[in-house]
Structure 1
Amino acid sequence: MTTENRNIVERALAKLLETGDFDTLEPLLRADFVHHRPDSTSRTRAEWLAAARPVPIGDMQVEIRHMLAAGDHVVMYSKRQLPGAGPGIAVVDIWRFEDGLIAEAWEIIEPVAQAPANFGWWKSADR
């Protein structure tokens, strides 16, 4: 399933970037799909699709740096940028598959310009 899951992600991303339409992903998401956010909140499939639709993905430049698949998980690290919008973002996506569909997703986004400030996140301002 590892190779098949990776192929599903690659095909889905190609279709998404080609069409700019997040609804192309809906058939790949389980009905009970959950999108986990870094702030410990989560969204259902319908909530995530509604939140994602306004993203101008068709205009976005996406450079996939790494994609790894193991068991029922696929992990991707990418750099994304909108034309003329500065240095862009670095993103880690994690997808968990169940029965050939995406059951869960995690997404961590860091603005590239802010990355140096995060290298010493453990240091307090008063040290």
Structure 2
Amino acid sequence: MTLLRVVLLVLLPLQAMAAIDVYQFENEQQEARFRVLAEELRCPKCQNQSIADSDAELAQDMRDRVHSMILEGKSDAEIVDYFRSRFGDFVSYRPPVNAQTSVLWLIPLLMLLGGGTLIIFLLRKASARADENDSNQGDAP
């Protein structure tokens, strides 16, 4: 029984190491670009995960493609455009401002304006009540 535990303890780290992607780059700048792009690109199959965080097979394929495109000398914009052409603007955490994505950019602004308007309205209402209470107390003998 002890031998079985020892074998399992020895083999467990090997399985964990098998899940780690290892990419070779010509320099540190390429590796840094890879890390940034892998965090910037969203896995189309996963629920709000970057391709760096996803274990999906599609994310693995995307990481491999990013790696090969960096080694080919493609720019970051070319790489992002490549994935946008295949998966749409959803693939980027920073979608471009255009007619299709305008809602994504306008909703936070509208929520901020609506919240500010609501706060101003509530403050004025509370101020009016306080003024009314002060004037009513001033009339009492």
**TM-score, length of structure 1 as denominator length:** 0.26
Instruction: Tell me: higher relative CO, structure 1 or 2? Use CA pairs within 8 A at least 6 residues apart.
Output: 1
Whose strand fraction is larger, Structure 1's or Structure 2's? 1
Whose helix fraction is larger, Structure 1's or Structure 2's? 2
